[in-house]
Amino acid sequence: MKKTAAGLLATALVVLTGCTTAGPFVTNISSDGRGNLIIEKNTVHMNAFTGAVSTGEMPTVQTIRVFPESEPKQKP
């Protein structure tokens, strides 16, 4: 009985530590040509058994409007 419980515990630990997910990380930054920045974020998956690293399947895209700096007004 103790060997079975230890075997199940060892199997559960191996299954739980087999794949790791990290992120989200910025994977791409681009300009749309109209003063906006397009930021793409995605997660990263690493399979510890095979050493394979892959990106997530659903990236998050965010558009940020960049306003030009206004010049300080000078007193007459």
Full-model pTM:
0.52
Q: What is the pLDDT of residue 30?
A: 93
Q: What is the pLDDT of residue 18?
A: 59
Q: What is the pLDDT of residue 6?
A: 67
Structure tokens at 13: 């630990």
Which regions of the chain are under pLDDT 50?
none
DSSP string of 25-69, one letter each residue: EEEEEEE-SSSEEEEEEEEEEEETTT--EEE-SS-EEEEEE-PPP
Q: What is the pLDDT of residue 33?
A: 86
